[in-house]
């Protein structure tokens, strides 16, 4: 029992001694590792410290270099500014010296002038005293004062001048009476000789040639629907069966005839002739004619050398091409009056440019977009004033038929040239003008009824077609308009034969498939 106890005690002691020895060994090992790690950390820290110090020195040197560069640049800039200021200072000093020198010279010159003025004043006084002395001697010799002698001399000269002036005025008046008619005839003859013009060739019919009867049949259409559509859209009377291979387009309005002719030409060239296509082509042709009118007005102004004409006035000038006055083409007449006016103004020593412009515009009141309720001369003057034309041009336009008082010399020149252009042989045909006026009156009379959209006088004035709006006029009202219009024409107008009044009321329903 004791032996076992001792064995156990011995084992416990041995185990304890082993644990103690192991702990001692491990403690020594840990102490050694920690010292080595500490030494390594100190070495690394020292190395990092040296690197940071080195980087700081490099950054410092870099900043120092940049600062030195900035300082040097500022020093150079300051030196440059200082040099520039010194140059300006030197320049100012030089200018100041020049000003001082000029000031001194001016003072010297002023002193010399003052001395010279004093000398001149002294001489003037001496001269006045001598003059007074001579004057008193002359008065004593002539036994009258200088004022009396002066008055007597003036009266004598006035009487002689009046006598000479009366003789001269009488001679001038006699010569003017003897030569006035001769000189006026010379001016007019020279003006006419320098202006070449054509005679009136306007008519109311246009001829459209066709190749064969097949094309004629296509133009007529089924039951004549193509012809009716063309007549309704253009207001032109289309005559087919009177002559072979030709179609006559009859209308008093040249614009309508030209639209119909061009539309037929396009339709025949295209080959597609039906009401819808006719309507499309007529609409395009109307736009084309408007463009041609504007271009013609511009070209006319360029040919006559007229500049800065407003666009609307140029359009009205071009529109004159499709109007006539007593059979005389209105544009040809306006160009003729413009050239005559310019030539006559030059002969009389006036401004030919103003006269030419007034002559060209004198009849613009005849081609308005809406029918005015005043004479064409006054309406043309209003248009010219509206578009800022010169007052002398406005007065010449308004006074060329004595409907406005003439205030400038250009006005009688335009009036005379207008009369010359209209009165020359072959210029006008009264019958054509009366015919066109009757057709115009027919159309304007129908336009006075409410709901009327368009009116066309066709068949040489034997038929009046009135197109009314379907949404504004009923069938019964259309019949009433036809009856009332026929009675009004019978009571208010004079015409040969009879006139057929056709009122057309058409309803269209249009949609688009997209």
Pairing of β 452-458 and β 328-329 = unpaired
Three-class SS state of 498: coil
Chain Cα centroid distance, residue 76 = 60
Taking the CB of residue 62, how many other CB atoms lie within 10 A of it? Answer: 10
Please tell me the predicted confidence (pLDDT) of residue 179: 66
Return the residue matching tokens 């009824």.
449
Please tell me the predicted confidence (pLDDT) of residue 424: 54
Q: Which segments of the chain have a pLDDT < 50?
A: 193, 196-202, 425-427, 429-431
Rounded Cα gap, residues 223 and 339, in angstroms:
52
Q: Quote the tokens at residue 42.
A: 């100190």
Please tell me the predicted confidence (pLDDT) of residue 435: 67
Rounded Cα gap, residues 39 and 54, in angstroms:
23
Please tell me the predicted confidence (pLDDT) of residue 31: 72
Q: Quote the tokens at residue 30.
A: 């840990």
* CB environment 142-176: b (16+ within 10 A), e (fewer): eeeeeeeeeeeeeeeeeeeeeeeeeeeeeeeeeee
Nearest to 204 by CA among 418, 453, 365, 434: 434
Residues 315-349 pLDDT 10s: 888 888 877 766 677 888 888 888 888 888 888 88
Rounded Cα gap, residues 403 and 397, in angstroms:
10
| Contacts by residues 252-258 (CB-CB < 8 Å, ≥ 24 positions apart) | 252/204, 252/435, 252/436, 252/439, 252/440, 252/457, 252/461, 253/322, 254/202, 254/321, 254/322, 254/323, 254/324, 255/289, 255/319, 255/322, 256/456, 257/204, 257/205, 257/206, 258/206, 258/289, 258/322
Largest Cα span, the chain = 201
Strand partners, 466: 455, 503
Rounded Cα gap, residues 437 and 323, in angstroms:
12
Rounded Cα gap, residues 467 and 494, in angstroms:
23
């Amino acid at each position: 029992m004791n032996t076992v106890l001792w064995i156990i005690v011995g084992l416990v002691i041995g185990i304890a001694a082993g644990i103690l020895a192991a702990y001692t060994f491990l403690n020594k090992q840990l102490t050694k590792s920690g010292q080595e790690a500490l030494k390594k950390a100190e070495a690394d820290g020292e190395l990092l410290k040296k690197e940071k110090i080195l980087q700081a020195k490099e950054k410092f040197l870099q900043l120092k270099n940049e600062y030195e560069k900035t300082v040097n640049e500022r020093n150079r800039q300051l030196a440059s500014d200082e040099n520039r200021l010194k140059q300006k200072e030197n320049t100012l000093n030089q200018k100041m010296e020049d000003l001082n020198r000029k000031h001194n010279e001016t003072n010297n010159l002023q002193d010399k002038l003052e001395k010279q003025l004093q000398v001149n004043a002294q001489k003037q006084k001496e001269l006045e005293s001598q003059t007074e002395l001579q004057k008193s001697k002359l008065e004593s010799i002539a036994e009258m004062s200088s004022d009396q002698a002066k008055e007597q001399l003036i009266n004598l000269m006035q009487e002689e001048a009046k006598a000479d002036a009366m003789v001269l005025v009488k001679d001038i008046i006699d010569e003017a009476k003897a030569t006035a008619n001769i000189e006026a005839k010379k001016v007019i003859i020279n003006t006419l000789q320098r202006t070449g013009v054509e005679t009136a060739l306007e008519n109311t019919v246009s001829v459209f040639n066709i190749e064969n009867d097949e094309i004629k049949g296509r133009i007529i259409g089924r039951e004549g629907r193509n012809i009716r559509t063309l007549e309704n859209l253009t207001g032109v009377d289309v005559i087919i069966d009177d002559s072979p291979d030709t179609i006559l387009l009859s209308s008093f309005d040249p614009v309508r005839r030209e639209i119909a002719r061009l539309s037929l030409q396009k339709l025949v060239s295209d080959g597609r002739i039906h009401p819808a296509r006719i309507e499309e082509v007529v609409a395009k042709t109307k736009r084309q004619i408007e463009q041609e009118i504007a271009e013609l007005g511009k070209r006319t102004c360029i040919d006559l050398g007229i500049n800065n004409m407003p666009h609307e006035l140029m359009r009205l000038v071009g529109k004159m091409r499709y109007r006539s006055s007593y059979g005389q083409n209105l544009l040809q007449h306006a160009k003729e009056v413009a050239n005559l006016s310019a030539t006559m103004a030059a002969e009389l020593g006036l401004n030919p440019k103003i006269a030419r412009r007034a002559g060209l515009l004198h009849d613009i009141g005849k081609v308005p977009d809406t029918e005015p309720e005043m004479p064409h001369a006054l309406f043309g003057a209003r248009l010219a004033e509206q578009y800022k034309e010169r007052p002398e041009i406005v007065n010449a336009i308004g006074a060329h038929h004595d409907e406005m008082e003439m205030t400038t010399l250009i006005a009688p020149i335009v009036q005379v040239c207008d009369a010359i252009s209209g009165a020359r042989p072959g210029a006008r045909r009264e019958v054509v003008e009366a015919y066109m006026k009757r057709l115009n009156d027919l159309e304007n009379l129908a336009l006075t009824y409410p709901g009327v959209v368009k009116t066309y006088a066709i068949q040489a004035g034997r038929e009046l077609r009135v197109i009314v709006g379907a949404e504004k006029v009923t069938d019964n009202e259309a019949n009433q308009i036809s009856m009332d219009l026929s009675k009004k024409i019978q009571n208010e107008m004079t015409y040969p034969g009879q006139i057929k009044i056709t009122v057309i009321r058409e309803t269209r329903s249009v949609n688009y498939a997209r």
